[in-house]
Amino acid sequence: MKENRNEIEIQATAEQVWKVLTDLDKYSEWNPLLYRGVGKVEPGETVEVSAKTATKDMKFICKVTEVEPYHKFAWKFHVIHPLLFRGLHIFQIESVDEHKVRFIDREQFEGLLLPMQAKDLEANGLSAMVAMGEALKKRVA
């Protein structure tokens, strides 16, 4: 398994950050990594996102696996077949104080093709996550 993780503190409430993160239709206005989103962040729902890293532009059909309002949601996805390449994207919001949160963005990857993708995921995937965190911070402010 490979995991990419980024954390950023945002001067906002958990509710403010949650509202931006779960409004997939507006991702195109601010999100440089997941630049297009369609669907609802609700357990069992299917969402479609388009992602861009430095080397790839991909469309993912994701299944929402977990939702804890104002705290956490996650979706899983695969490419071609789950045995070849699959991932879990976890979006987490932790309150630091009344008006500050820590946004934790994690992606976990597995599958037979992972060794061929690991270098790209580490270099380009992680930098794209950092850019998304910075963009979220600007959007909420």
pLDDT digits (tens, 9 = 90+) for 52-95: 765 678 899 999 999 999 999 999 999 889 999 999 999 999 99
- Tens digit of each residue's pLDDT (9 = 90 or more) over 16-58: 999 999 999 999 999 999 999 999 999 999 999 999 765 678 8
Cross-strand partners of 73: 67, 91
Give the three-class secondary structure for 101: strand
Does 14 have pLDDT greater than 70? yes
Residue 71 and residue 69: Cα distance in Å, rounded? Answer: 5
Q: Considering only CA atoms, which of 71, 77, 88 is closest in space to residue 5?
A: 88
State the total domains in the chain: 1
For residue 120, the tally of other CB atoms under 10 A from its CB is 13
Could you tell me the CATH number of the domain that includes residue 136?
Answer: 3.30.530.20
Model pTM score: 0.92
| Domain range enclosing 73 | 2-140
> Which residue type does 41 have?
V
Say if CB 101 and CB 95 are below 8 A apart. Answer: yes
